[in-house]
């Protein structure tokens, strides 16, 4: 499990963060020990008050324990890890707070220690705690048989994509199929009897007729790609010229690209806003299901806690009734029966606690599976919507560059003649 620790102050802010339910679906205060107070905020105030008797500013040590995403980790595993941390850092016996958070079907732990030693009124020194925690984290991964993160295996194996959009940034727009483009141009050619009609038919399909630099007539796509008409229709150049007339009367490729950019770029802003609205609309049912699942899980946990508590009380009374009182109790003490009965009660109590812990963990494990299945749907929905929106942003950036590039070309025309843009032919096999 990944261990991240820090020396810090700000007990009040940290306490409020530990108790925050807005970002966490379940918050469980597991332990408040070593303090007079039995609640988190009271313990934070005590830690701060103790630090006022010293010159220590960072009077707390905060630690987060994050197990692998797909592992179901028992409370005992967290407790052992905390005990190992205390031993490794020299915090054994220091007052501490332990809180469990559950979010998106995962459970992680937060622990906070007071660094102030009440006997010496000095802060516990924590030299090289980062290296010690990393070494201990590796040990925990190995002890539990979990797959170790590559960054823990070697510093050279860190994933450079960590904390980035990762898959969202892999979205790429599909290229136009040359066969479809050829079929569309041929269809427009059959329907048109003049340059004007041909241009209008092409524009219905997002294509634009222009005058090329090397070939007389070309088609420009919305992406600014240029294709020669003579390479796409089964007609001779002379026949094409007779039907379409003088190519000099058509706009140039540069002017056509400028027109496309001016017409399309403003529309993309509205497309982006619409895509974001659709994304919010699509995620709303999943968010509602997440909130309903949260309420359901809380109710199930309360029910099992009540069941375990009632059963424990009944069993405790039954065990206590075995220890006789009065003269009978004295006789049991003298004959040794009392000690046998007490030993039996202690063993049964231990087994009962283990049984209760297993039952509660089984419920939480089942709830995590339900929540993780829902989280996969949420993540997939977010990925698809982000892919769509990022694609629109890329399109907007491309058209902005087209407009800016043409302005730069206009400024440079007075100084140097631009290189003629080479028309691209189609490899139609």
Interval 263-280 mean pLDDT: 74
pLDDT band for 180, please (50, 70, 90 cuts). Answer: low
CA distance 192 to 185: 11
* Mutual angle of helices 195-203 and 178-191, in 10-degree steps: 140
Question: Which tokens hold the place of 236?
Answer: 């001779």
The pLDDT assigned to 233 comes to 85
Q: Which of 229-243, 349-363, 391-405 has the lowest mean pLDDT?
A: 391-405
**Which stretch of DSSP H or E encloses residue 110?**
strand 106-114
The yes-or-no verdict on residue 376 having pLDDT over 80 is: yes
Q: Is 6 helix (H, G, I), strand (E, B) or coil?
A: strand
Tell the burial category of 195 from Cβ atoms under 10 Å away from its Cβ (0-12, 13-18, 19+): middle
Question: Which tokens hold the place of 93?
Answer: 């016996």
Beta-sheet strand order (sheet of 60-66): 2-8, 60-66, 106-114, 96-103, 26-33
Q: Which residue has the higher pLDDT, 106 or 221?
A: 106
Q: How many CA atoms lie within 13 A of 114 on its CB side?
A: 26
209 bridge partner residues? 219
The pLDDT assigned to 153 comes to 53
Distance of CA 417 to the CA centre of its chain: 51
pLDDT band for 249, please (50, 70, 90 cuts). Answer: confident
The pLDDT assigned to 86 comes to 93
pLDDT band for 242, please (50, 70, 90 cuts). Answer: confident
Q: Which residue has the higher pLDDT, 174 or 179?
A: 179
How many other C-beta atoms are found inside a 10 Å radius of the C-beta of residue 303? 11
Contact 66, 21 (CB under 8 A): no
Residue closest to 233 by CA, chosen among 268, 209, 213: 209
The pLDDT assigned to 160 comes to 31
* Digit-coded pLDDT (tens) for 30-45: 999 999 999 999 999 9
3 bridge partner residues? 65
Contact 113, 60 (CB under 8 A): yes
CA distance 185 to 54: 83
Residues near 341 by Cβ (< 8 Å), separated by ≥ 6? 322, 323, 332
* Digit-coded pLDDT (tens) for 191-214: 888 888 988 888 777 788 888 876
220 bridge partner residues? 208, 226
Residues near 52 by Cβ (< 8 Å), separated by ≥ 6? none
What separation in angstroms does the CA of 235 have from each of 197, 243, 331?
17, 11, 119
Relative to beta strand 207-211, strand 26-33 is: unpaired
CA distance 22 to 3: 24
**Would you state the torsion angle of the CA atoms of residues 28, 34, 39, 45, taken in this order, to the nearest 10 degrees?**
-130
Residues near 276 by Cβ (< 8 Å), separated by ≥ 6? 389
The yes-or-no verdict on residue 167 having pLDDT over 90 is: no
Mean predicted lDDT score pLDDT of the chain? 81
Eight-state DSSP code of residue 29: E
Question: Which tokens hold the place of 94?
Answer: 């220091």
Question: Which tokens hold the place of 386?
Answer: 């982000």
Interval 391-400 mean pLDDT: 69
Through-space distance between the first and last CA atoms of the chain, rounded to whole angstroms: 56
The pLDDT assigned to 259 comes to 77
Which residue matches tokens 């459970």?
107
Interval 401-410 mean pLDDT: 57
* Digit-coded pLDDT (tens) for 328-366: 989 988 899 899 999 999 999 999 999 998 998 889 888
Q: pTM, whole model, 2 decimals?
A: 0.49
Alpha-helix residue ranges (DSSP H) falling in 322-412: 326-335, 337-412
The yes-or-no verdict on residue 110 having pLDDT over 90 is: yes
CA distance 97 to 124: 17
* Digit-coded pLDDT (tens) for 250-267: 888 888 877 777 776 667
Q: Is 27 helix (H, G, I), strand (E, B) or coil?
A: strand
The yes-or-no verdict on residue 88 having pLDDT over 60 is: yes
The yes-or-no verdict on residue 428 having pLDDT over 70 is: no
Q: Percent of the chain having pLDDT more than 70?
A: 81
Question: Which tokens hold the place of 246?
Answer: 């003088």
CA distance 125 to 123: 6
The pLDDT assigned to 409 comes to 52
The pLDDT assigned to 404 comes to 60
pLDDT band for 215, please (50, 70, 90 cuts). Answer: low
Q: Which residue has the higher pLDDT, 259 or 176?
A: 259
Residue 96: phi, psi to the nearest 5?
-145, 160
């Amino acid at each position: 499990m990944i261990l991240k620790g820090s020396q810090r102050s700000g007990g009040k802010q940290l306490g409020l963060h530990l108790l925050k339910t807005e970002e966490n679906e379940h918050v469980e205060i597991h332990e408040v020990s070593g303090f007079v107070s039995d609640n988190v905020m009271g313990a934070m105030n005590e830690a701060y008050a103790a630090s006022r008797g010293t010159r220590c500013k960072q009077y707390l040590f905060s630690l987060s324990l994050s197990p692998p995403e797909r592992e179901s980790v028992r409370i005992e595993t967290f407790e052992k890890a905390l005990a190992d941390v205390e031993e490794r850092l020299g915090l054994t016996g220091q007052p501490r707070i332990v809180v469990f958070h559950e979010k998106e079907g995962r459970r992680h732990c937060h622990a906070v220690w007071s660094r102030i030693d009440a006997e010496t009124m000095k802060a516990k020194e924590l030299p090289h705690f980062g290296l010690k925690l990393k070494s201990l984290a590796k040990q925990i991964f190995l002890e539990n048989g979990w797959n170790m993160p590559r960054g823990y295996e070697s510093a050279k194996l860190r994933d450079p994509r960590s904390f980035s959009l990762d898959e969202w940034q892999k979205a790429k727009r599909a290229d136009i199929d040359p066969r479809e483009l050829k079929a569309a141009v041929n269809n427009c050619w059959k329907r048109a009897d003049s340059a004007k009609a041909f241009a209008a038919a092409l524009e219905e399909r997002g294509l634009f007729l222009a005058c090329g630099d090397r070939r007389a007539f070309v088609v420009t796509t919305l992406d600014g790609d240029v294709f020669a008409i003579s390479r796409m229709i089964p007609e001779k150049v002379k026949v094409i010229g007779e039907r379409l007339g003088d190519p000099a009367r058509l706009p140039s490729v540069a002017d056509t690209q400028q027109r496309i950019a001016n017409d399309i770029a403003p529309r993309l802003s509205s497309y982006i806003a619409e895509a974001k609205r659709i994304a919010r609309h699509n995620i709303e049912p999943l968010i509602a299901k997440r909130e309903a699942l949260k309420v359901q899980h809380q109710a199930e946990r309360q029910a099992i806690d009540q069941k375990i508590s009632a059963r424990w009380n009944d069993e405790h009374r039954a065990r206590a009734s075995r220890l006789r009182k009065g003269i009978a109790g004295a006789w049991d003490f003298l004959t040794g029966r009392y000690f046998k009965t007490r030993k039996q009660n202690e063993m049964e109590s231990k087994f009962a606690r283990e049984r209760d812990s297993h039952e509660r963990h089984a419920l939480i494990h089942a709830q995590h599976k339900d929540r993780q299945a829902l989280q996969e749907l949420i993540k997939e929905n977010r990925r698809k919507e982000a892919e769509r929106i990022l694609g629109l942003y890329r399109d907007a950036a491309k058209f902005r560059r087209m407009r800016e590039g043409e302005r730069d070309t206009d400024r440079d025309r007075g100084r140097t003649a631009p290189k003629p843009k080479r028309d691209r032919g189609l490899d139609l096999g």
